[in-house]
Chains A and B, each alone.
Chain A
Amino acid sequence: DTGVSQDPRHKITKRGQNVTFRCDPISEHNRLYWYRQTLGQGPEFLTYFQNEAQLEKSRLLSDRFSAERPKGSFSTLEIQRTEQGDSAMYLCASSLSSGRAIETQYFGPGTRLLVL
């Protein structure tokens, strides 16, 4: 098991462009989370999926953001018409929920986005 992976690790884009990030969770983990982290702050929750269903979205997730997990495995996070305020580290985490016990989330290395 190689853990949660994210691609790309770094992305530089110009304001107004669209960007897409990918997250591959730990194999057989049914829950997948996206967080955003700005400099000096702890990660903030954006959204999460159980299998392919998106069950919760934060108010931080504006209409320019969309996340998908089409087959319940990998997930993508797209930001349309990027703004300089979108510059942050985007973190993905996954967990295995059995419904019986609290589950532990394991994080990927993150994608660092810089919007010029």
Chain B
Amino acid sequence: DAKTTQPPSMDCAEGRAANLPCNHSTISGNEYVYWYRQIHSQGPQYIIHGLKNNETNEMASLIITEDRKSSTLILPHATLRDTAVYYCIVRSETGATNKLIFGTGTLLAVQP
């Protein structure tokens, strides 16, 4: 599975949009981009995933560039409860393994 690169930390003002970038320049055609977040001392929470097209659900939007080498997770109106570590993971649909490979993620701190 392709490796991802994320900034170690970001700040965001409460009520503003949080835009979390992820670089996955070695992604291949059958690999999906997944986002999870982990609030302190809790298990990771699934947010969203996508292959080529932009995706939106009740939690967030995922914007994937046309060349698929990078993506951005958007939390449209960040709240203090969105403070967490956000993980971007690239995962193959047909890979030999089903495990998720987590990096160290981005610590998003939402400021009041």
The interface of chain A, by Cβ under 8 A from chain B, is 4, 31, 33, 35, 40-45, 48, 56, 58, 91, 93, 95, 97, 101-110, 112
Contacts and interface: CB of A to CB of B under 8 A. Distances in A.
Given A45-B100, A56-B97, A110 B87 contact: no
Contacts of B49: 102, 104
Interface in B63-112: 85, 87, 91, 93, 97-105
Contacts of A106: 46
Interface of B: 32, 34, 36, 41-46, 49, 85, 87, 91, 93, 97-105
B103 A42 contact: yes
B43 A42 contact: no
Contacts of A110: 41-43
B104 A40 contact: yes
Contacts of B34: 104
Q: Which residue, of B43, B44, B101, has the highest number of chain A Cβ atoms within 10 A?
A: B43
Given A35-B100, A97-B98, A105-B46, 8 more contacts: A4-B43, A33-B98, A41-B104, A43-B100, A58-B99, A105-B100, A107-B46, A109-B42
Contact of B102 (A43, A97, A103): A43
Contacts, number: 58
A101 B34 CA distance: 14
A56 B91 CA distance: 16
Chief secondary structure at chain B's binding surface: loop
A87 B102 CA distance: 19
13 contacts: A33-B98, A33-B100, A43-B44, A44-B102, A56-B97, A91-B43, A95-B98, A102-B91, A104-B34, A104-B46, A104-B49, A107-B43, A107-B46
Contacts of B100: 33, 35, 43, 45, 93, 105
